[in-house]
Amino acid sequence: MIEMQNFEDVFEEEEEEEGNWLMTARLEILEYLLRRYGNLRAKDIADILGCKVRSVQPLLKKLEHSGRVKCLKLGKNSVWTLNEYGYETIYY
């Protein structure tokens, strides 16, 4: 019985690690697309990846909350862009 509990604990840890790895890979792919192609709409990203906008939107929001990308309003459209800290003006 004790051995079975240990196995379940290890299995749960492996699932958590795999989930984190997948999420990290997805976020890095989105960052790559924005770095490579510049400003993109969520629909454009979804089209490139062959998925639905509702799959891409939460990932973009996660990147936005971490400060790695930002959403800009252009008229009725919203575009996503990398948040490039190195190019911002520094005020003293």
Is the pTM value of this prediction over 0.75?
no
Residue 77 in tokens? 């459209």
Q: How far apart are CA 42 and CA 28, in angstroms?
A: 15
Q: Where are the beta strands (DSSP E) in 1-92?
A: 69-74, 77-82
CATH placement of domain 2-87: 1.10.10.10
Q: List, for residues 6-55, the tens digit of each pLDDT value.
A: 545 544 555 556 668 899 999 999 999 999 999 999 999 999 999 999 99
- pLDDT tier for residue 2 given thresholds of 50, 70 and 90: very low
Nearest to 28 by CA among 14, 50, 49, 53: 49
φ/ψ of residue 77, rounded to 5: -100, 155
The structural domains of the chain, with segments of one domain joined by +, span: 2-87
